[in-house]
Structure 1
Amino acid sequence: MSRIPTHTVENAPAASQPLLRKIVQATPGGRPANLHAQMAHSPAVLTAYTSLRAVLTDQSTFTPKMGAALTLAAAAGLGNDYMVRIASRLAQMNGWSGDQVTALTTGTSTNDAKTDALAGLVREAAANSGNVADATWNVARQAGWNDEYLTDAFVYLGATVFTAYFLNYAQTNLDI
């Protein structure tokens, strides 16, 4: 059972309503997912979440497709089923095939060594509280990822950790 109330746009705190409304407009079902509806209980949480999402959209050096791969790799590393489902759906919407989604989740090959190297780094960081072995870092560097991309990958890890931890914290009911 979830620990935090689940809101609609109408009964969310006033400061959360505009953000929740924007989320609903971008959602195929026309209603907020449980995670957004619970985040809305705290305008600070919902603002932090939407700010992280906006940064990923507006300032990342990665394409949406690669960003979706990094989000999925991070979700898999964290092991949160709700987050893996969200990220899998996002990855498919951004052009990853079903087999590639499985590969990004399990750490097997997507048939793109460069993607696999960076996804592996992010998955390892997610599973180890941000720690990555030098060997993993070097594989990503050798695959062609420079400091800018390696640094930028962190925001996908951070946004995924924020979301997954909230889901665990709130015991959000799976609705995806």
Structure 2
Amino acid sequence: MTRIPTHTVEDAPAASRPLLEKIVQATPMGRPANLHAQMAHSPAVLTAYSSLRAVLAEHTSFELKVGAALTLAAAAGAGNGYMIRIASRLAQMNGWSAEQADALAAGATTGEIRIDVLAGLIRQAAANSGKVSDAAWSAAQQAGWSGEQLTDAFAYLGATVFTAYFLNYAQTDLDI
């Protein structure tokens, strides 16, 4: 049972309505997902979520395919089924096959070793409160990821963990 009310654009708090409306316009469902509809109960939460996503879209150094892999790896590390499902769908929309998305979620190889190494680092960070082993960090560096990229990858971790934790906190019903 969910803990937080699920809103429509019409009954959401006034400060959440413009953001929720923008989200609805970008979704094929024609309505907010339960995730967004519950976040709308707090304009601060919906604004924080929307801001994290907007910053990733505007400022990341990664192409969409890599970003989707990082989001899925972080979702798997955080262990929230709803977030894993969203991230898997996102990965497939951005160039990963269903089999590769499953591999990213499971921590298996996708055939793109360089991305697998970075995804593994992010999965480990999500599962361990941001902590990663020196070996995982070194492997990512040896795979050719720069310090800037390793730092940038944290933004995907942060946005995904924020979302996954909210889903756990709110006990959001799966609707995707």
Q: Same fold (TM over 0.5)?
A: yes
Task: Give how far 1:113 is off.
Answer: 1.1
Deviations 1:30-84, CA, capped at 9 Å, x for gaps? 0000010000000000000000000110000011111000000000011100000
Counterpart residue type for residue 164 of structure 1: A
Look up the match of 1:21: 21
Query: Structure 1: which 5+ residue stretches go unaligned?
Result: none
Aligned to 2:2: 2
CA distance in 2, matches of 1:110, 1:160: 21
Deviation, structure 1 residue 167: 0.3
Residue 129 of structure 1 aligns with which residue? Answer: 129
Compute the displacement of 1:19 (Å): 0.1
Establish whether residue 98 from structure 1 lines up as the match of residue 98 from structure 2.
yes
1:102-121 alignment, distance < 5 Å: 102-121=102-121
Correspondence for 2:155: 155
Q: Does 1:172 align with 2:164?
A: no
How far residue 164 of structure 1 moved from its aligned partner, in angstroms, is 0.4
Q: SS of 1:109's equivalent?
A: coil
- AA aligned opposite 1:160: T
Q: Is 1:84 matched with 2:76? A: no
Share of identical aligned residues, percent? 75
Q: Deviations over 1:76-112 (max 9, x none)?
A: 0111000000000000011100111011011111111
Aligned-partner Cα distance in 2 for 1:36–1:98: 25
SS at match of 1:46: helix
2:154 counterpart of 1:144: no
Pairwise CA distance, 1:29: 0.7
Distance 1:22 1:67 in 2: 22
Partner SS state of residue 173, structure 1:
coil
In 1, Cα distance between the equivalents of 2:108 and 2:170? 31
TM (norm. structure 1) is 0.99
- Following TM superposition, the consecutive aligned residue runs of length 4 or more in structure 1 with deviations greater than 4 angstroms are none
- Distance in 2, matches of 1:8 and 1:65, equals 31
TM norm structure 2: 0.99
- RMSD, aligned CA: 0.5
Aligned counterpart, 1:31 = 31
Gaps of 5+ in 2: none
